[in-house]
């Protein structure tokens, strides 16, 4: 994806099991914050992963950065398949 200088990016990962959100080039794409947004859905109990992790970034200078996040669990004591353990997106700042 592409962003102009000063552009903002918000990524919402649909489970509270996601973590380790990072940018590979903080001088190009700065992480401005992460937060966990719990779900208020009926029937969702603590430990179930209901909710989301929201990460915000700002484009600081031209270049390329990769935003990534990892998780090991896809449910309480349920390991994720290898293909579902990592999220990433490449961002080009112009």
Q: List, in order of start, the domains of the chain with CATH numbers.
A: 2-93 (2.60.40.2020)
* pTM of the predicted protein model: 0.90
Mean pLDDT by 10 residues, the chain (94 residues): 98 95 98 93 83 97 98 90 97 98
CB-count burial class (<10 Å; 0-12, 13-18, 19+) for 11: middle
- Would you state the pLDDT for residue 21? 97
Residues 9/91, Cβ–Cβ less than 8 Å: yes
């Amino acid at each position: 994806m592409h962003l102009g200088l000063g552009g903002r990016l918000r990524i919402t990962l649909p489970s509270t099991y996601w973590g380790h959100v990072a940018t590979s080039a903080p001088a190009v794409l700065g992480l401005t914050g992460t937060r966990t947004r719990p779900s208020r859905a009926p029937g969702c109990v603590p430990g179930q992963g209901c909710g989301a992790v929201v990460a915000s970034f700002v484009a600081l200078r031209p270049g390329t950065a990769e935003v990534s996040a990892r998780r090991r669990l896809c449910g309480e004591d349920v390991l994720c398949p290898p293909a579902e353990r990592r999220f990433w997106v490449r961002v080009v700042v112009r």
